[in-house]
Chain A
Amino acid sequence: MKDLEAYPLCLEGDNIPMVCFKNVTKRYGELTVLDKLNLEIDAGEMVTIIGPSGSGKTTVLRMLMTLEHIDGGVIYVNGEPLTHMEKNGVLVPANHRYIREKRGQIGMCFQHFNLFPHMTAIENCMEGLVHVLGLSKKQAKQRGEELLEMVGMLDKMDEHPSRLSGGQKQRVAIARALAMRPKVMLFDEVTSALDPEVIGEVTSVIKGLVDKHSLTMLMVTHQMGFAQQISDRVCFFYNGKIEEQGSPENLFSNPQRERTQQFLNAVNESI
């Protein structure tokens, strides 16, 4: 961490990326999961990350959501560092209070939904609004209902998660995360735990988001067709590094690297 002096205190310029990973490294014990990763995502861009398991793709999302500690490098969100803060003119690892301030810009949806089981759908959506953003219960309920309607779950707003199907739960989870009006939305394999017939419910909601809003989004998925449909850019990860990235048309039809080709072949065979 001594070379933190090499990193700017904040990003300057006209077209700064919304998310910027600079030389980000993450280790679990002996294992290096992310190896000096450099990744930039522009405001309003929709980026999909694909790759074999263990390639570090989920770790990228988890670090952005501050669920994991960073071992090297700096992550910037909207120009300002997320993982580090300024002290006496240099960057130092951020303390809890600073992280909580910056974290509100990020929202995340999980593979296993992680809805709060002791609250109804609408209460799940209201929770962050009331207890983090300080909205009144009335305002929170209004916004919650708006979002549940957007994902098509308004009629189930008073149900507990145990009474909802997987697809319904994931849609509520999306509404819950969006209610916080984050600048960056993260989707971590949100269809991997769903039965095939309900995957469509969730992907159409995400597609709606891409079409109607200019949210910055980062998605990890195994649904290649879906990724091709909605992404602005696709990154193929291998061994903690970006092996190849480009527009979906280029990457899927004309991969330049051999490992990318091998991965895409293996995926196509399993369909």
Chain B
Amino acid sequence: MFDWRWAFVWEILPRLFEATLNTLLASMLGYCIALVMGLIFTLLQRTRVKTLTIITRELVEFLRSTPLILQIFFVFYVGPQFGINLSPWAAGMIAIGLHYSAYLSEVYRGGLESVPKGQWEAATSLNLSTVKTYIRIILPQALPPSLSGMGNYLVGIFKDTPMLSVIGVAELMHTANAIGAESYRYLEPITLVGIIYLFISLPASYLIRVLERYVNQKMGLN
């Protein structure tokens, strides 16, 4: 029944630790892609070119409404069908980056819309250019409300990395499965993986809340 072996735990911990680092790295890279693409999506939806706005809107909805795992498979398998061979890592990063850029673009949009209309009008009354208005007045005010969403999605990416295991990326979940298959013991690896995720995502969520409060204070928005 409940047959926990501590000796086995110490044995597999180093391997799990290395896989954790891989996972964190993958998360960070995917997040960076998402941060940038998300901003691009948001700004594209605010242009005056109607076709561009509509296409971007539909693309963002599509990415948000369909399963990430399916998108990962799509990117990984469709490439070779047309001659582009992507490594599991590259395919995984692209898929995660795109998927989360859709979420982040909604976060940015919410942040932008939360800036009071009067701020835009004050900038106009001082004759600030559009670029300067965005950079100096609007974006600094759009950032604090967006932070909690942005932070939550970083934690979300980290928790979604196990999906990459199905296309062979040697992250945490994949390693746990491999250990289980090799040693016929799944209990310890998978439980440890769950604990490791908790140990990282819970403090991360807490730190994000602290960061939010700090930024709000620093910008005099309290």
Which A residues form the contact surface with B (CB < 8 A)? 65-67, 100, 103-104, 106-108, 110, 112-120, 127-128, 131-132, 160-163, 176-177, 180
Chief secondary structure at chain B's binding surface: helix
Which of A112, A113, A118, A127 is B126 in contact with, Cβ under 8 Å? Answer: A127
In the complex, how many angstroms separate the beta carbon of B196 from the nearest chain A beta carbon? Answer: 39
Which B residues form the contact surface with A (CB < 8 A)? 116, 118-119, 121-122, 124-129, 132, 136-137, 140-141, 219-222
Residues of B within 8 A of A112 (CB): 118
Contact B221 A107 (CB under 8 A): no
Kindly state the separation between the CA atoms of A13 and B173 in the bound complex, as whole angstroms: 82
Contact A67 B127 (CB under 8 A): no
Q: Can you report 21 A-B residue pairs in the complex whose CB atoms are below 8 A from each other?
A: A65-B121, A67-B124, A103-B124, A107-B125, A107-B126, A110-B118, A110-B121, A114-B116, A115-B122, A116-B141, A118-B140, A118-B220, A127-B126, A128-B126, A131-B129, A132-B126, A132-B128, A132-B129, A177-B125, A177-B126, A180-B127
In the complex, how many angstroms separate the beta carbon of A80 from the nearest chain B beta carbon? Answer: 16
Residues of B within 8 A of A108 (CB): 121, 125
Nearest chain B residue, comparing its CB with the CB of A97: B129
Nearest chain B residue, comparing its CB with the CB of A108: B125
Contact B127 A104 (CB under 8 A): yes
Residues of A within 8 A of B132 (CB): 131-132
Nearest chain A residue, comparing its CB with the CB of B143: A118
Kindly state the separation between the CA atoms of A113 and B125 in the bound complex, as whole angstroms: 12
Residues of B within 8 A of A120 (CB): 220
Contact B220 A114 (CB under 8 A): no
Kindly state the separation between the CA atoms of A189 and B74 in the bound complex, as whole angstroms: 58
In the complex, how many angstroms separate the beta carbon of B69 from the nearest chain A beta carbon? Answer: 41
Nearest chain B residue, comparing its CB with the CB of A177: B125
Residues of A within 8 A of B122 (CB): 110, 114-116
* A-B Cβ contacts below 8 A, count: 72
Which of B118, B129, B222 is A162 in contact with, Cβ under 8 Å? Answer: B222
Residues of B within 8 A of A163 (CB): 220
Nearest chain B residue, comparing its CB with the CB of A62: B121
Q: Which of A128, A131, A160, A163 has the most CB of B within 10 A?
A: A131
In the complex, how many angstroms separate the beta carbon of A100 from the nearest chain B beta carbon? Answer: 6
Nearest chain A residue, comparing its CB with the CB of B137: A116
Kindly state the separation between the CA atoms of A62 and B128 in the bound complex, as whole angstroms: 16
Contact A162 B221 (CB under 8 A): yes
Which of A66, A110, A118 is B219 in contact with, Cβ under 8 Å? Answer: A118
Contact B125 A100 (CB under 8 A): no
Q: Given contacts A127-B136, A162-B220, are A116 and B125 in contact (CB under 8 A)? A: no
Nearest chain A residue, comparing its CB with the CB of B121: A67
Q: Given contacts A117-B141, A127-B136, are A65 and B221 in contact (CB under 8 A)? A: no
Which of B119, B121, B129, B220 is A100 in contact with, Cβ under 8 Å? Answer: B129
Residues of B within 8 A of A67 (CB): 121, 124-125
Q: Given contacts A66-B124, A104-B127, A132-B126, are A114 and B118 in contact (CB under 8 A)? A: yes
In the complex, how many angstroms separate the beta carbon of B142 from the nearest chain A beta carbon? Answer: 11
Kindly state the separation between the CA atoms of A114 and B117 in the bound complex, as whole angstroms: 9
In the complex, how many angstroms separate the beta carbon of B161 from the nearest chain A beta carbon? Answer: 35
Kindly state the separation between the CA atoms of A266 and B202 in the bound complex, as whole angstroms: 62
In the complex, how many angstroms separate the beta carbon of B152 from the nearest chain A beta carbon? Answer: 23
Kindly state the separation between the CA atoms of A117 and B142 in the bound complex, as whole angstroms: 12
Kindly state the separation between the CA atoms of A177 and B219 in the bound complex, as whole angstroms: 22
Residues of B within 8 A of A162 (CB): 220-222
Q: Which of B126, B128, B140, B141 has the most CB of A within 10 A?
A: B126
Residues of B within 8 A of A177 (CB): 125-126
